[in-house]
Structure 1
Amino acid sequence: MLAELSPLIAATSQWLTCAYPSGGGALASALCEVQARQAVTVAAWLRYPTPMDAALVHMAGPGGATRLDWLTGGTDGAETQDPDERAWRTWVDEVVASWAACLLTDPDLADRAVGAIAEGGPTAASVAEFRRLTAPDDTDRRAAALLRHPDLLAPVADLHRDQLVERLRPGRALIA
């Protein structure tokens, strides 16, 4: 299942780090990217919890970054003649980006989401795998200051926050 979601996770993480870049050097950029990737991974596993879900999104495609770009005032990739730039942007998943933005800006939601992933299912993971998402230290916070800023991410996070909150409602199974 991870292979099916890897293009979506990579593209959505790249979109987040392009839209909300690190202000520091190489180390800060790497730490920012790790935090984005952890948030996107958790969001993708919650959004597509079964191998069938992952296969379907892999076949149909996730939708692209156009609306997200419009919300954040960024380029939609159509303005560039570089086909590689346009290509990766088609793999951005708006719902996953929104959920990841929620996780990056709301520690309680991040803890609940990682706990839900750790509880079981085909994507069961250790809570420690997502430490930079759930327990960032000062260096992590400085590296991802824009990526974790609730006001800056609000337009993206608010798009699908209600769906994430419903998915994480106590007593609700991740796989329906």
Structure 2
Amino acid sequence: MQADLSPVIAATAQWLTRSFPASGGALASALCEVQARQAVTVAAWLRYPTEMDAALLGVSGPGGSARLDWVTGVDAALGDEVDAHAWRTWVDEVVASWAASLLTDAELAAQAVAALAEGSHSSGTRAEFRRLVDPDDSDRRAAALLRHPDLLAPVAGLHHGQLLDRLNPGRTLFA
């Protein structure tokens, strides 16, 4: 199952780390990438909870990074280079949006990881996603841009309501 989602997870995490790069050297880059990958993994597992969901994604494709690039202004910086990167076609906009929401809201991240325990992907333990749900100072420094709520707001806001619906099915808006 994981293998079916691995191209989407890898491409979406790469998009996040390229759009909101690490602050520092090689260690900071590695810490930032781990946090992005953990957030994207949780988001992808929530978005595609069954084998059938993953199979349908394989048939229909994830949609690519075009809208995300436009929202963040990356499309202008890349120019014609956007089409030169085939990995961008594997970026899933909803997964990126959900991951951005998880990176900027610790409570939501913890709730999302807890929701994984109900699914078929993993045990959903906090330890599996420690850098996402309980980042230390090194993690925060390395991913200062990746976890900055104001910078990620345009991406997180794209599908935030859908994430809340997924985590709290049947919730009322005015409760």
For normalisation by structure 2, the TM-score amounts to 0.92
The aligned counterpart of 1:121 is: 119
Q: CA RMSD in A?
A: 1.7
| Paired letter, 2:147 | R
Q: For the residues of structure 2 that align with 1:16 and 1:159, how far apart are their CA atoms?
A: 15
Query: Cα deviations across residues 33-53 of structure 1 (Å, max 9, x unaligned)?
Result: 000000000000000000000
The aligned counterpart of 1:13 is: 13
Once the two structures are TM-superposed, the CA of residue 75 in structure 1 deviates from its matched residue by 2.9
Aligned-residue identity in percent: 70
Once the two structures are TM-superposed, the CA of residue 60 in structure 1 deviates from its matched residue by 1.4
The aligned counterpart of 1:169 is: 168
Conservation of the 8 A alpha-carbon contact between 2:75 and 2:82: no
Q: For the residues of structure 2 that align with 1:130 and 1:121, how far apart are their CA atoms?
A: 15
| Paired letter, 1:99 | W
The aligned counterpart of 2:27 is: 27
Q: For the residues of structure 1 that align with 2:114 and 2:83, how far apart are their CA atoms?
A: 40
Structure 2 spans left out of the alignment, 5+ residues: none
The structure-2 alpha-carbon separation of the partners of 1:124 and 1:80, relative to structure 1 and needing over 3 Å to count, comes to same
Q: For the residues of structure 2 that align with 1:81 and 1:165, how far apart are their CA atoms?
A: 31
Count, aligned residues: 169
Task: List aligned pairs for 1:93-172, cutoff 5 A.
Answer: 93-117=92-116, 119-125=117-123, 126-169=125-168
Structure 1 spans left out of the alignment, 5+ residues: none
The structure-2 alpha-carbon separation of the partners of 1:170 and 1:62, relative to structure 1 and needing over 3 Å to count, comes to closer
SS in 2 for 1:71: helix
The aligned counterpart of 2:91 is: 92
Q: For the residues of structure 2 that align with 1:79 and 1:71, how far apart are their CA atoms?
A: 17
Q: For the residues of structure 1 that align with 2:70 and 2:137, how far apart are their CA atoms?
A: 31
